[in-house]
């Protein structure tokens, strides 16, 4: 990636406890013709990955992809594409579903806390959506869609480095980039994000979940 690259990530939490995720990577260059993404979640499992590469001439490539367990991290999966791809630049669309990955109530959160697997936000009782860039980019934008029955209030902005250290001072600088764009819909824009840091929208789920 480069300082002309942009990342858009759309995350939707559904009433079925699934998380639908779509990445759109604009003006992305590959290294040695390889594409790799690691998905981390202490609940659920990713499925049905779809990847579309479009080069600057409009040529489209749709490689076959599948998730594999990460060889080191027990809460992570990864998808890898290595073949006859040029290095780019490309527009890349990558989507998948995280089956049963969403926590919709504090009752469900307690089960995760007892499992010993939660990350820093879930240890505080937050569910969250996040975005990060593994190389320098011009812009990251996170679009969050919550099911209409999930009355969680306006999410909080949280910023962490790659060692999961929280940086409140960064939140102050980014607060103008957080917008409510509709009922249970939010947009977070980060210009020139720090490499490998993760920018999150976090909320406390209601005590109990009643499907609507």
Domain ranges across the chain: 6-203
* CB neighbourhood size of 119 (10 A): 18
pLDDT tens for residues 40-89? Answer: 887 888 999 999 999 999 999 999 889 999 888 878 899 988 867 888 89
d(Cα 177, Cα 187) in Å, to the nearest integer?
A: 8
Average pLDDT over every residue of 157-171: 91
State the pLDDT confidence band at 209, using cuts at 50, 70 and 90: low
Q: Work out the mean pLDDT of the chain and round it to a whole number.
A: 89
Token pair belonging to 183? 């009922």
pLDDT score of 31: 84
Average pLDDT over every residue of 115-141: 88
Average pLDDT over every residue of 115-120: 72
pLDDT score of 50: 95
Token pair belonging to 164? 């999961």
pLDDT score of 212: 59
Token pair belonging to 191? 């210009």
Say if domain 6-203 classifies as CATH 2.60.40.
yes
* pLDDT over 80 (residue 153): no
């Amino acid at each position: 990636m480069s300082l002309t690259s942009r990342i858009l990530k759309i995350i939707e939490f559904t009433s079925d406890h699934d998380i639908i995720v779509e990445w759109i990577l604009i003006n992305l260059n590959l290294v040695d013709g390889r594409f790799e993404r690691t998905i981390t979640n202490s609940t659920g499992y990713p499925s049905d990955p779809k990847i579309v590469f479009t080069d600057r001439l409009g040529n489209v490539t749709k490689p076959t992809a599948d998730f594999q367990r990460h060889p080191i991290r027990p809460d992570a999966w990864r998808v890898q594409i290595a073949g006859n791809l040029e290095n780019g630049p490309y527009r890349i669309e990558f989507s998948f579903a995280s089956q049963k990955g969403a926590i919709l109530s504090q009752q469900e959160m307690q089960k995760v806390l007892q499992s010993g697997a939660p990350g820093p936000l879930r240890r505080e009782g937050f569910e969250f959506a996040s975005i990060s860039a593994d190389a320098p980019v011009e812009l990251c934008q996170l679009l969050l869609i919550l099911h209409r029955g999930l009355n969680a209030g306006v999410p909080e902005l949280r910023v962490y480095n790659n060692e999961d250290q929280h940086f409140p001072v960064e939140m102050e600088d980014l607060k103008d980039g957080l917008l409510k764009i509709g009922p249970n819909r939010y947009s977070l824009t980060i210009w020139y994000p720090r490499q490998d840091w993760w920018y999150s929208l976090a909320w406390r789920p209601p005590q109990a979940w009643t499907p609507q």
